[in-house]
């Protein structure tokens, strides 16, 4: 749960991120099938990484929105190791600036109890051509969850359970 962020004109919002990973709900799996097919690829699996909620409370209205962050594991060819290293270098060069921009838009970039910032996870992974500096391709993840998600990508690209089958519509409660 992020801090409250004041909004010009009154009110405030708070970003709340529910982290998976979960099996993709049916609608997300169908969307991934279409996305893969549109690029001439086959869907191997789908990972629902997180749900990002933006709750707004203003002088007149209380509202919110929700955005499911998913990764479609299409049978994309892996990029060359040198290209992956170059992408990681681009990310390393912009990481601090990215976190500051995140803070302006979403509230403070999360950190652990010792003050170490969480890692940035590339939703469309760098090893398959993901953009290392695209705002819509990076979410914060704590170290232990980041490693688990990274390991799950290999299973997803291999088309193995549980990522190759659908899950429930809402895997968590509020």
Mapping DSSP onto H, E and C, the string for the chain reads CCCCEECCCCCEEEEEEEEEEEECCHHHHHHHHHHHHHCCCCEEEEEEEEEEEEEEECCCCEEEEEEEEEEEEECCCCCCHHHHHHHHHHHHHHHHHHHHHHHHHHCCCCECCCCCECEEEECCCHHHCCCCCCHHHEEEECHHHHHHHHHHHHHHHCCCCCCCCCCCCCCCCC
Confirm whether 165 is domain-assigned: no
Confirm whether 170 is domain-assigned: no
Q: Give 53 or 40, the one with higher predicted confidence.
A: 40
- The number of folded domains in the chain is 1
pLDDT range class, residue 82, cuts 50, 70, 90? very high
Residues 24 and 28: their CA atoms lie apart, in Å, by 6
Confirm whether 26 is domain-assigned: yes
pLDDT range class, residue 5, cuts 50, 70, 90? low
Share the mean pLDDT of the chain: 90
For residue 93, pLDDT over 70 is answered with: yes
Confirm whether 173 is domain-assigned: no
For residue 32, pLDDT over 80 is answered with: yes
Confirm whether 164 is domain-assigned: no
- Distance in angstroms between the alpha carbons of the first and the last residue of the chain: 12
With beta carbons less than 8 A apart as the criterion, state whether 151 and 144 touch: no
With beta carbons less than 8 A apart as the criterion, state whether 48 and 22 touch: yes
Confirm whether 41 is domain-assigned: yes
> pTM score, two decimals?
0.84
Question: Residue 72's domain spans which residues?
Answer: 5-157
Mean pLDDT, range 3-26, rounded to an integer: 82
Confirm whether 171 is domain-assigned: no
């Amino acid at each position: 749960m992020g801090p409250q962020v004041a909004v010009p004109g009154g009110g405030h919002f708070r970003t709340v991120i529910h982290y998976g990973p979960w099996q993709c709900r049916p609608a997300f799996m169908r969307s991934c099938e279409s996305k893969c097919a549109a690029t001439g690829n086959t869907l191997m699996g789908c990972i629902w990484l997180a749900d990002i909620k933006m709750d707004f409370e203003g002088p007149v209205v209380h509202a919110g929105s929700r955005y499911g962050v998913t990764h479609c594991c299409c049978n994309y060819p892996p990029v060359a190791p040198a290209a992956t290293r170059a992408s990681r270098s681009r990310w390393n060069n912009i990481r601090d600036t990215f976190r500051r921009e995140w803070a302006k838009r979403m509230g403070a970039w999360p950190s652990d109890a010792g003050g170490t910032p969480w890692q940035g996870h590339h939703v469309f992974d760098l090893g398959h051509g993901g953009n290392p500096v695209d705002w819509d391709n990076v979410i914060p993840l704590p170290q232990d969850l980041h490693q688990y998600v990274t390991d799950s990508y290999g299973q997803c690209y291999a088309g193995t359970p549980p990522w190759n089958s659908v899950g429930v519509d809402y895997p968590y409660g509020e």
